[in-house]
Chains A and B, each alone.
Chain A
């Protein structure tokens, strides 16, 4: 090879501040909005020519003029969205330790199955005789869910976890009303609960009564007893996450269930963390009356940048008759759908039968793991979290002593007086190549950092992660504040101004001329 005049080794230089003309940074391409690149007259899809049949839209109903939606050719579309995708972090890139969100591996067999025509290309209102395979899948999934949870029934239709919460709380309300207990409108919610719990209770017409946490991160049972005793006839139930949002199993859970039942209320368990229990503990053995499952957490359906989710909700004997429509029943000849509400059902939660695309993925995951693999996955998730906690406990500050379940909670006391806060620490993790953990939640812990590694991480990957976290903790405590305040430096963007975004919301693109007019 001729090397004369052609240096073969790189020259080091500090060029961080140099901007490129294009705005791109090598592999990371600057990407304008489609509204700034496409035009309404362009389309990337070929259609046959209209035949010119007479319109039956009605003379006054036709749209006049342009909508303003830009079109792009197929190669332009491909490039636009591939470039954008490269500005995202993802499970497939690295550790995504968002506590409570359960970012586990999404098997691609699930994707393949979800796209099979008998599930993906069937209409929700086709004759029942033509959708027997889809109904059988729903029935099979229900069977797995009931056996894994030890509960007698499941309502599949809720479209996400929070929708499942609504389902469970509406079933509770329906049962109370049916029993002439409509004065029971007070729901007890621990202060460590997910924000969805109190929001759901209120959306179902209940009032929220908050129970404080005890020193060990669990429900303060004495306080719970007092809350109940103060007015037992107003208690509708309790909404409790188990394992709770501190990553701890509620040791007194059976006693809590008994207390609530004795008072005449029902026990809603938030199943967001069911992935710590599958195969080892069945909620049905804990006195639970209703619990949603997040198929997108425990059963690996993809999070997809925010959805779609799926929140099937298991119901106890006391509540199951109030389940929403539609649901599948097995008859002599096959499967039927019950689509219209009777006197007892609390009604309908969505247009059709819930999230078929998630049912097929979740059942594929369950069958792939089997009874043995699901239990092993649970144990590995709990072991990985404890391994992270144990490996970081000397440099960071675990919020509570002892072992944890599937996630490890730290507070910010190890950062005290360093000038670095939880947010800075999280942003510095980005530069290390990791998505930050859940931060400032749960609220019961100061500057909370909630790490959930899931069972999908190998020991090698965890060791690298632990190495980075130890390095960051040591750097933070050694007085290196400035680099934390600047972080992230290597991400596609630096820290974004969220205050400005909220104060003057710009929620859509507007043509430059209109923007100028608006400013005048």
Chain B
């Protein structure tokens, strides 16, 4: 077995030193009735070549995003990731290190976390950020729970443009913590309806921009109303690249900003791992969930970094912790940081501009097709189209023509708005792809 260094000779010598006759003696505490007497009925070990062959065949049964004209978004985005990123995150020292509990020999991970936190704070326009969460939806759920801790109020308002999966993940976590959440019906262009729902009992209002329909939402009036009732505005995004071009949530008065960071540095991965971003105002930092890295000095007075504020965390506070989380999205936030370091302001803004231009081009093409209507007033790189046929049928018909033509809204809503299609165009989409999509859509709808 190629992964196991011990041989029979070693094992015999070691058992001897332990002072037992055989390996079974080390399992003597296992109740007799639970001791397995034979091998579990699964295949035996295989060579690297054999496993690789099996996996290659499985892989070939799916259609990869880069092999076809591709227009899916709705929370996960196909961008080009520079080769440097994947090379660096596979360095042994990053890949095979644990959480940086021993800062003297973990400065590599810690400094990148500090850089990551700074990048996220700058991008979102907030004071501070944590060292990442599992994904955007869990970050959103944790933010709602945090708002209850901060405000000591328990009503949360979710806006109708919040991604339904984010709403569902938040509902799940909130359901056991006596947080009351409004019934959310997804609706385009209706996010400002939350303004009239805010009362003194509101702990937080959760608004996504660009929202799930792709519409960009002016957060400032919502923030103003929320603050006048001592409620927090939690701003959500699913596409970090958008923040290269649109106003940051911090600028518009958000108190907590959460989102999905996958669009920078992390591949689609069929939905995970991705990387949740979490940022907030300085005064809320001690209520923030998740790992945080901070600056300090060593015994020689040299600047260095450590995990800090651990008195919020489960391994110290146990049942009084702010969250049960002990994992971040380590390697994915490293990938985010490296990609963002390559981009810089200049690159991010160019990338964002290309995304927007491709989406505008796509919208123009779709608008020219009979039986379609682009519903958005504003958008970044994705928007909503009303079709004269159920979107799921259209998408399947497009897939049969080898085009991955967006996400039917009913797929994420569980049935609502079956005539709506979400389409997205990033910088990887070519003019040829857009025209191929236009022709195919015309055929499918005719």
Contacts and interface: CB of A to CB of B under 8 A. Distances in A.
A162 B59 contact: no
A184 B281 CA distance: 38
A340 B412 CA distance: 8
A349 B142 CA distance: 12
Contacts of A248: 29
B419 interface: no
A457 B14 CA distance: 13
B262 to A, nearest CB: 10
A204 B285 CA distance: 23
Interface string B388-409: 0000000110010000100100
Interface string A223-242: 00000000000000000000
Contacts, number: 712
Contacts of B415: 340
Given A339-B414, A350-B134, A505-B308, A369 B3 contact: yes
Interface stretch (B40-48, B225-233, B434-442): B40-48
B99 interface: yes
A120 interface: yes
B105 A147 contact: no
Contact of A281 (B30, B41, B129, B357): B30
B91 A85 contact: yes
Nearest to A457: B5
Interface string A155-183: 00001111101100010010000000000
Interface string B355-373: 0110111010000000000
Contacts of B216: 57-58, 61
5 contacts: A111-B95, A280-B36, A352-B135, A370-B43, A498-B103
Contacts of A320: none
Contact of A61 (B28, B127, B247, B353): B247
Max chain A C-beta neighbours (<10 A), residue from B123, B272, B324: B324
A48 B270 CA distance: 28
Interface string B158-170: 0000010110110
B260 to A, nearest CB: 7
A120 B65 CA distance: 9
Nearest to A83: B108
A262 interface: no
A35 B119 CA distance: 9
Given A57-B216, A74-B82, A307-B132, 11 more contacts: A67-B348, A77-B342, A124-B272, A162-B324, A198-B318, A285-B33, A350-B138, A370-B42, A455-B4, A458-B5, A498-B306
B65 A121 contact: yes
Nearest to A438: B101
A443 B67 CA distance: 53
A506 B23 CA distance: 51
Given A203-B176, A508-B121, A119 B95 contact: no
Nearest to B288: A507
B327 A307 contact: yes
Given A123-B72, A498-B308, A501-B306, A507 B378 contact: no
Assign chain B's interface to a size class.
Answer: 35 or more
Nearest to B67: A117
A111 to B, nearest CB: 6
Max chain B C-beta neighbours (<10 A), residue from A90, A91, A140, A205: A90
B325 A124 contact: no
B271 A124 contact: yes
B414 A340 contact: yes
Contacts of B354: 47-48, 50
Given A360-B55, A507-B117, A205 B267 contact: no
B34 A120 contact: no
A329 interface: no
Given A69-B119, A308-B134, A351-B163, A90 B96 contact: yes
A418 interface: no
A416 interface: no
Interface stretch (A1-9, A375-383, A471-479): A375-383
Contacts of A366: 42
Nearest to B109: A305
A223 B324 CA distance: 26
Contacts of B356: 53, 55-57
A201 B319 contact: yes
A293 interface: no
Contacts of B414: 339-340
A383 B138 contact: no
Max chain A C-beta neighbours (<10 A), residue from B245, B346, B380: B346
Contacts of B361: 53
Given A44-B341, A173-B176, A500 B297 contact: yes
Contact of A81 (B88, B99, B411): B88
A133 B63 CA distance: 9
Contacts of A280: 27, 30, 35-36
Given A123-B72, A144-B42, A386-B26, A109 B52 contact: yes
Nearest to B286: A505
A221 interface: no
Contacts of A467: none
A67 B163 contact: no
A242 B106 CA distance: 30
A432 B30 CA distance: 36
Interface in A101-158: 101, 103, 105-107, 109, 111-113, 115-127, 129-134, 136-137, 140, 144, 147-148
Contact of B96 (A173, A302, A501): A302
A129 B91 CA distance: 36
A306 B268 contact: no
A497 B62 contact: no
Contacts of B72: 123, 125-126
A422 interface: no
A45 B347 contact: yes
Max chain A C-beta neighbours (<10 A), residue from B163, B377, B412: B412
